[in-house]
Structure 1
Amino acid sequence: MKKRKIPMRKDVLTDEMHPKKEMVRVVRNKEGEVSLDPTGKKPGRGAYVSLNPEAVKAAKEKRTLDTVFEVKISDDFYDELFEYVDHKKARQELFGND
């Protein structure tokens, strides 16, 4: 049986490549609103973030996603992203890749 190619994406916070399934997509729509995209299918400019809570904390301090999306992002969104990444990482450690 042929081995399937694993799609890789670059983490905008750490510039490291990771499998797409192990990352979270963040998207900015035409109105300039930034949101989480758990399905990976929302329209707009997307960027990937790995399941690394420490990198999200550092991104909040440096305002990294503000630069990536060229829009002012609230601290609430960074907090929401941190909680989501932390939750997904905990699930992954408990259940493996789902």
Structure 2
Amino acid sequence: MKAKKIPLRMCTGCMEMKPKKELVRVVKSPEGDVSIDLTGKKSGRGAYVCKSIECFEKAFKTKRLSRNLETNISEEIYEKLKDEVSNE
């Protein structure tokens, strides 16, 4: 029997490839709205962050998230993401 392939994504904080299930997805919809996607199924451009506060702070400080999503991200979204990451 063939082993099931596990999808890998790169964390914008530590720049390491990790299984998609271990990461939190931030998505920019086609309309330009930025939100946190816990299901991983929303349409739009996505960026991933590890569920660790260190990776989140590194991605925030270097502005990699906003660069990857090609838009400015509001403080409100950063606060929601920080709460989501710190709860894990």
Q: TM-score range by the shorter chain?
A: 0.7 to 0.9
Q: For structure 1, list consecutive stretches of 5 or more residues without a partner in the other structure.
A: 89-98
- The alignment's TM-score, normalised by the length of structure 2, stands at 0.85
Aligned with 1:80: secondary structure?
A: helix
Aligned with 2:60: secondary structure?
A: helix
Larger radius of gyration: 1
1: CA distance, partners of 2:4 / 2:62: 37
1: CA distance, partners of 2:57 / 2:81: 10
Give the match for residue 85 of structure 1. 85
Give the match for residue 59 of structure 1. 59
- The alignment's TM-score, normalised by the length of structure 1, stands at 0.78
Q: Give, in angstroms, the shift of residue 2 of structure 1.
A: 5.0
1: CA distance, partners of 2:87 / 2:69: 24
Aligned pairs for 1:13-92 within 5 A: 13-88=13-88
Aligned with 2:59: secondary structure?
A: helix
